[in-house]
Amino acid sequence: MSGKNSWKFPQAFWIANAVELFERASFYAVFITFTLYLSNVVGFDDIDAAWLGGFYAAGVYFMPPFTGALADKMGFRKAMLLAFALLTVGFFALGSLPYRATTVPAVILLILGGSFIKGLITGTVAKTSSIEHRARAFSIFYGMVNVGSFSGKSIAYPLRLNLGLESINYFSAGLSLLALAVVFLFYKNVRVEGEGKQLKEVWRGLVRVVTNPRLVTLILIVSGFWMIQHQMYATMPKYVLRTVGQQASPEWIANVNPAIVVTFVVIITQLLKKAKAITSMTIGMLIMPLSALCMASSPTLEALLGIPVSLPFGLSAHPITIMLIAGIVLQGLAECFISPRYLEFFSRQAPKGEEGLYLGFGHLHSFIANLLGFGLSGYLLTKYCPDPRTLLPEQLATAYVNANYIWYYFAAIGLTSAIALYIYATVVKKIDARKSSVA
CA 14 to chain centre: 24
Looking at residue 376, its amino acid is L
Whether residue 349 is found in the same domain as residue 260: yes
Residue 179 shares a structural domain with residue 267? no
- How many CB atoms sit inside 10 A of residue 245's CB? 9
pLDDT score recorded for residue 163? 97
Pick from 75, 269, 49, 254: which is nearest to 151 by CA?
Answer: 254
Query: What contacts 313, CB < 8 A, 6 or more positions away?
Result: none
For the chain, counts of helices (H) and of strands (E): 20, 2
pLDDT at 439: 58
3-state secondary structure of 29: helix
pTM exceeds 0.85 for this model: yes
> Do 185 and 265 reside in the same domain of the chain?
no
How many domains does the chain divide into? 2
Biggest alpha carbon–alpha carbon distance for the chain:
72
Whether residues 239 and 118 share a domain: the answer is no
Same domain assignment for residues 323 and 411: yes
Question: Is 5 among the domain residues?
Answer: no
* 424 Cα distance to chain centroid: 25
Rounded CA gap, 213 and 435, in Å?
17
pLDDT single digits (tens) 245-296: 999 999 999 999 989 988 888 899 889 888 888 899 999 999 999 999 999 9
Structural domain contains residue 34: yes
**Of 145, 179, 196, at which residue does a domain stop?**
196
Residues 58, 177 share a domain: yes
Neighbouring CB atoms inside 10 A of 90's CB total: 25
Same domain (yes/no): 221, 191? no
Can you name the residues that pair with 310 across neighbouring β-strands?
316
Q: Is residue 93 one of the residues assigned to a domain?
A: yes
Residue where a domain terminates, one of 169, 196, 223: 196
Indicate whether 219 and 171 sit together in one domain: no
CATH number at residue 293: 1.20.1250.20
Q: What is the pLDDT of residue 2?
A: 45
Q: Answer whether 87's CB lies under 8 Å from 392's CB.
A: no
**What letter represents residue 43's amino acid?**
G
Report d(CA 428, CA 425) in Å as an integer. 5
Domain range for 300: 205-386+396-439
State the distance between the two ends of the chain, measured CA to CA, in whole angstroms. Answer: 47
Dist CA 13 CA 32 (whole Å): 28
Residue 396 and residue 274 in contact, taking contact as beta carbons nearer than 8 Å: no
Low-confidence spans in the chain with pLDDT less than 70: 1-7, 191-197, 354-357, 439
Report the candidate in 229, 293, 282, 295 with the shortest Cα–Cα distance to residue 260.
Answer: 229
- Same structural domain, 151 and 257: no
Q: What is the DSSP string of 344-367?
A: HHHHHHSPTT-HHHHHTTTTHHHH
- At residue 307, the 3 state secondary structure works out as coil
User: Residue 254 falls within a domain, yes or no?
Assistant: yes
Domain limit, last residue, from 148, 163, 196: 196
Q: Are 171 and 89 in contact (CB under 8 A)?
A: no
d(CA 292, CA 298): 11
Q: Flag whether 391 is in a domain.
A: no
Residues 319 and 294 in one domain: yes
**Which three-class secondary structure state does DSSP give residue 366?**
helix
Task: Answer whether residue 238 is part of any domain.
Answer: yes
268 plus 224 within the same structural domain: yes
pLDDT, residue 195, reads 53
| 263 alpha-carbon distance from chain centroid | 18
C-beta of residue 346 within 8 angstroms of C-beta of residue 359 = yes
How far is the C-alpha of 414 from the C-alpha of 291, rounded, in Å?
9
- The neighbour count for residue 195, using CB atoms within 10 Å, is 9
Q: Which neighbouring-strand residues pair with 316?
A: 310
Q: In angstroms, rounded to a whole number, what is the distance separating the alpha carbons of residues 179 and 183?
A: 6
Residue 245 and residue 192 share a domain: no
* Complete DSSP assignment for 67-130: HHHHHHHH-HHHHHHHHHHHHHHHHHHHHH--SHHHHHHHHHHHHHHHHHHHHHHHHHHHHTS-
Q: For residues 387 and 159, give the distance between their C-alpha atoms in angstroms, rounded to a whole number.
A: 22
